[in-house]
Structures are given as C-alpha cells and as structure tokens.
Amino acid sequence: MNRTEALRIITDQAASAPLHFAGHVEIGLRIRDALNDPDCHVDAAAKLIQAEPALSAQVVAIANSAAYNTSGRAITDVKTAVSRIGFATLRSLAAAHIVKHLAGVPTNATIKALTDQLWRHTTHVAALCRTIARRVTRQNPESALFIGLVHEVGNFYLLSRAGEFPALIEAQPAQLPDRPAPSFEEEAAATPTHAVGDDPVTLLERELTLTVLRQLQVPAPAIEAVGDYFAGYMELPPSSMADTLLLAESLAPVGSPLSSVVNSDADDPVSIDAAIGDSTLSEILKESAAEVESLAKALGT
C-alpha cells in the first residue's frame, strides 16, 4: 500500500462515520463548547482554562506576547490573561489545543518528529496570518489566527493513523530541515503554484481536512477559506482570507512535513513585494517580525 492508497482509505472512513476523539482533544472540545455559550463570562472562562494546565500556560504566554501586550506590563494570572486577549483569541487557543493533540502521544520517533515539526509550522503560519490579515489583506486578524491554527488539522489526523498506515510517513524523513529565514527584499514570497487540479493526493488532503473541520464543528467561513487555500492560487495583491493563509504558508520559516499544497520551489515565482498603502510587504513584515516571532513562540508553549 502506498501513501495515496492509505490516504484514500482514511479519507473514505472519515467521510462515512463520525470521528471519535478522546483525551486532550475531548477536553478541548468541552472548553470550546463552553466558550461558545453566550452566558460564559470571564470568571467562568478562566476557571475552564485553569483546569487544563498546558492551556493555562499558553493563555498567559499569549497575553504576554508582543502581539497582545501593548502596555508592556507582564501578567501571571489566567483571569487577567483572558480579559486581555478576549474570547475570540481564547476560542482560537481552544481550537489549537484540539489540533495539537489530534495526533495523540506518538511513541514512534519518526511520527513524533513529524508531529513536532507540523506544530512548529502551524504556530508560525498562524502568527503570520494574524499580522498579514491586520496589515496587508485587511481581514479579521483573530479569524486569521484561528484559520492558521486549524488549517493543518487533516495532517494531524493523518499522523494519528500513521501507526496503522505506515505508508503515510515511510517516504518522509524523520524531520525536514527548517527553511532559511526569508529575505524580504529579494524573495518576500512567491505565488504558490501547486493547485488542486487533478492531483489525487492534494484532492484527498483537501477532502480529509474539510471533513475533519466539519466534524469539529468549525465555522463555515473558516472551512471555506481553508478549502480555497487548497486551490493554491493567490490573488495579487493578496486580499482574501485564503490569500492570507497562502502568503503565511509561503513565508513560514518552518515547512509542513506533509502538506502538498504550497510549492516553495516554484519554477516561475511571482514577486508580491508590492506597495500596500504607504509601505511594501517586505517593510511591513520587517516591522512586524518581533511580534510574529513572539506570538509563534507563545503558541508553541
């Protein structure tokens, strides 16, 4: 059995029966559902978060990151952190908790290395999405953060099944090297050219990802944006949520070890370092570099 055959079996199974989640994923789902209750206030939200130590640490880290700590005043308690970041970001962190633990606790060294790299990739993409949405595409920054955090959910689910289907990872190295830091002057980004088209692997990846997102009850606009992202085409200048995600993917210093969507070695790259307002993309990204790095680090907590 090759990777495509294994991917097809898993995708068919996911589409034909409800997925069952356990452990930290189930905890994350319960927290998400509680946060979606309009009667859930800051005190109740803080208590929910405090019941999950790893999520508590991440919420405080996010609140102290350069992206959210505009006053420069560090905080140490969950309630104040929740008040600072707001419920939209808190829901994104609950989603991140779900996605991060979807692969389970790998015992295989290769699966663990791939899972770790996939999460590092996800955190960098999500942090870039927030900045790009706020300063380039003019999309909702917190929605962009959420989409960045959930867009690899299909691959996390695949890693949870890799023990049953070794073909999913046998062609993958234990850990792909990080990309060199992008030179924003010379190669700010290239238009991704790996479109869905008739490629069976990308079609299956898209179908599986959208199926898992639906089963996790992710809002329809986010699912639509991820679906458009799989098409691999970015408008110039970038303006949509899918463009935001594609641009973040192309700029992330840590590549996805599994995704086939973005081809960073495009034969005919198209520069997108165009004027955006009074600045260029490279200037905006250089100005935001510390904020992006701080947020990515906090998301990886």
Summarize pLDDT for 62-109 with one digit per residue, the tens. 999 999 998 899 999 999 999 999 999 999 999 999 998 888 888 889
Residue 230: helix, strand or coil by DSSP? coil
Does the pLDDT value for residue 181 go beyond 60?
Answer: no
At which residue do the structure tokens 């100005």 appear? 287
Q: Categorize the per-residue pLDDT at 187 as very low, low, confident or very high, splitting at 50, 70 and 90.
A: very low
Q: Categorize the per-residue pLDDT at 246 as very low, low, confident or very high, splitting at 50, 70 and 90.
A: very high
- Angle, helices 200-215 vs 3-16, to 10°: value is 30
Q: What is the pLDDT of residue 155?
A: 94
Q: Residue 276, CB half-sphere, CA atoms under 13 Å: how many?
A: 20
Does the pLDDT value for residue 198 go beyond 90?
Answer: no
Q: What is d(CA 45, CA 90) in angstroms, rounded to the nearest whole number?
A: 9
What is the Cα 301 distance to its own chain's centre?
Answer: 15
At which residue do the structure tokens 């590549």 appear? 255
Q: Is the distance from CB of 292 to CB of 247 less than 8 angstroms?
A: no
* Mean of pLDDT over the chain: 84
Does the pLDDT value for residue 264 go beyond 50?
Answer: no
Per-residue model confidence as pLDDT tens digits over 110-137: 999 999 999 999 999 999 999 999 999 9
Peptide bond into 237 cis (omega under 30): yes
Please give the DSSP secondary-structure letter assigned to residue 185: H
Q: Categorize the per-residue pLDDT at 273 as very low, low, confident or very high, splitting at 50, 70 and 90.
A: low
Residue 108's DSSP bridge partners are: none
Mean pLDDT across the stretch 45-62? 92
Buried b (16+ CB within 10 A) or exposed e, 176-195: beeeeebebeebbbbbbbbe
Q: pTM score, two decimals?
A: 0.85
At which residue do the structure tokens 């917190």 appear? 142
Q: What is d(CA 144, CA 125) in angstroms, rounded to the nearest whole number?
A: 10
Could you state, in order of their start, the residue ranges of all structural domains in the chain? 22-101, 106-299
Q: What is the pLDDT of residue 262?
A: 52
Within 8 A by CB and 6+ apart from 184, the residues are: 273, 281, 282, 283, 285, 286
Q: Is the distance from CB of 230 to CB of 205 less than 8 angstroms?
A: yes
What is the Cα 31 distance to its own chain's centre?
Answer: 19
Long-range own/partner contacts, residues 276-280 (CB < 8 A, 24 or more apart): 276/135, 276/136, 276/237
Distances (CA, A) of 81 to 19, 63, 99, 122, 170: 33, 5, 22, 22, 42
Q: What is d(CA 110, CA 166) in angstroms, rounded to the nearest whole number?
A: 10
Per the model's pLDDT, the better-predicted residue between 300 and 155 turns out to be 155
At which residue do the structure tokens 């997108």 appear? 272
